[in-house]
């Protein structure tokens, strides 16, 4: 390993001084586990906020964070799947909003039983994801553009369906999904964990998942070895849209009302931020679920921590942005330090 790590790919250099064995091992672990930094950041942020705000680490607040995580985290997982193929899905936030409205409308206005309403909503989300995949793979529409279309249409549809006013009186099943606890762990947090575990399993342990990485890392290579590139890409859009649907349904349950003004409030950007902070490359092919989950957790720790620290509501977003900026800066510095030898 030393041979090529210390010698640039151009081969135009003499080997650098050999690092001592232990340091080299540590370096190797850091290079090969880009998530190490983000996980460390989660710990540092949590501990330092908890030390300054007594309520932060309380069970009640942890439960709040767990529920929030279901939103940011599940969206981030879906978003990451798309980004892994080299695409982007701007529609997830707005689609989550629309999904909530649809489920409520099917349930309340159309009089469907809640399970059927949920199923139908998820089905519609799947179709929308499939449509994204088709447009991207068959007609070469840039993912940015086609999902922006859905973003706009979804916000509009949510308003059009409801006429702008919230839908009340949804089935208790919705709020039960969001309000129940299992051993003090809120159910939405379990959804997040479940989504993360399934995504991890599919990405790391199945051929289909590994092929998603191959498609994102080098589309041409994937095509030449006979991987069904279009199908893999489409599948990620379907998964992303369905996960957005799940989030939408959890959100209306949490608020016990379907509010058309909730969707599209920048969730997709938070999801993208969580993915990027978690080590997902926007060029595709790089990033793991553990990092993505850690990224989402870090963002939640920070935004909730600002509340706990009683930072003025007007300053919160600025502080959040700044923290993100610093996190990314540190990550890039680390990456540069450990990849300089590669290039």
Binding site for other proteins (CB under 8 A): 1-5, 7, 9-14, 204-211, 213-214, 216-218, 220-227, 285-286, 342
Least CB distance to other proteins at residue 280 (A) = 11
Least CB distance to other proteins at residue 41 (A) = 23
Which tokens in the block code for residue 337? 């330090």
**How far apart, in whole angstroms, are the C-alpha atoms of residue 191 and residue 258?**
20
Least CB distance to other proteins at residue 340 (A) = 11
Nearer to other proteins, 2 or 176 (CB): 2
Nearer to other proteins, 18 or 59 (CB): 18
Nearer to other proteins, 17 or 163 (CB): 17
Least CB distance to other proteins at residue 11 (A) = 5
Nearer to other proteins, 216 or 245 (CB): 216
**How far apart, in whole angstroms, are the C-alpha atoms of residue 180 and residue 324?**
32
Least CB distance to other proteins at residue 285 (A) = 4
Q: Tokens 């906020």 — which residue? A: 49
How crowded is the C-beta side of 94, counted as CA atoms within 13 Å?
17
Select from 296, 298, 243, 297 the least CA-distant residue to 274. 296
**How far apart, in whole angstroms, are the C-alpha atoms of residue 108 and residue 1?**
63
**How far apart, in whole angstroms, are the C-alpha atoms of residue 68 and residue 318?**
20
The radius of gyration computed from the CA coordinates of the chain, to the nearest angstrom, equals 21
Nearer to other proteins, 6 or 63 (CB): 6
**How far apart, in whole angstroms, are the C-alpha atoms of residue 295 and residue 76?**
9
Nearer to other proteins, 132 or 219 (CB): 219
Select from 53, 93, 109 the least CA-distant residue to 311. 53
Least CB distance to other proteins at residue 129 (A) = 21
How crowded is the C-beta side of 3, counted as CA atoms within 13 Å?
1
């Amino acid at each position: 390993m030393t041979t090529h790590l210390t010698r640039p790919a151009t081969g135009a250099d003499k080997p650098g001084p050999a690092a001592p064995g232990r340091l080299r091992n540590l370096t190797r672990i850091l290079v090969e586990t880009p998530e190490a930094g983000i996980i460390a950041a989660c710990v540092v942020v949590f501990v330092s906020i908890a030390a300054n705000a007594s309520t932060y680490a309380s069970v009640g607040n942890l439960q709040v964070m767990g529920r929030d995580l279901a939103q940011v985290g599940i969206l981030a997982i879906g978003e990451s799947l798309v980004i892994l193929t080299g695409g982007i899905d701007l529609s997830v936030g707005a689609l989550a909003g629309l999904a909530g409205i649809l489920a409520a409308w099917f349930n309340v206005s159309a009089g469907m039983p809640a399970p059927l309403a949920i199923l139908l909503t998820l089905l519609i989300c799947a179709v929308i994801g499939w449509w994204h995949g088709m447009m991207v793979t068959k007609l070469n529409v840039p993912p940015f553009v086609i999902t922006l279309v859905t973003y706009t249409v979804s916000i509009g549809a949510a308003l059009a369906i409801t006429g702008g006013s919230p839908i009340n009186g949804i089935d208790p099943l919705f709020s039960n999904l969001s309000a129940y606890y299992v051993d003090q762990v809120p159910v939405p947090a379990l959804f997040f964990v479940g989504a993360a575990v399934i995504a991890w399993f599919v990405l790391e342990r199945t051929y289909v998942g590994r092929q998603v990485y191959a498609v994102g890392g080098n589309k041409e290579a994937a095509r030449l070895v006979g991987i069904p590139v279009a199908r893999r890409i489409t599948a990620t859009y379907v998964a992303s849209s369905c996960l957005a649907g799940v989030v939408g349904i959890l959100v209306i349950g949490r608020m016990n009302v379907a509010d058309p003004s909730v969707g599209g409030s920048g969730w997709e950007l938070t999801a993208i931020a969580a993915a990027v902070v978690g080590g997902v490359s926007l060029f595709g092919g790089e990033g793991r679920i553990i990092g993505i989950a850690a990224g989402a957790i870090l963002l939640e720790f920070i935004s909730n921590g600002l509340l706990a620290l009683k930072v003025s509501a007007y300053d919160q977003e600025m502080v959040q942005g700044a923290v993100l900026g610093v996190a990314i800066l540190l990550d890039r510095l680390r990456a540069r330090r450990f990849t300089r030898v590669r290039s």
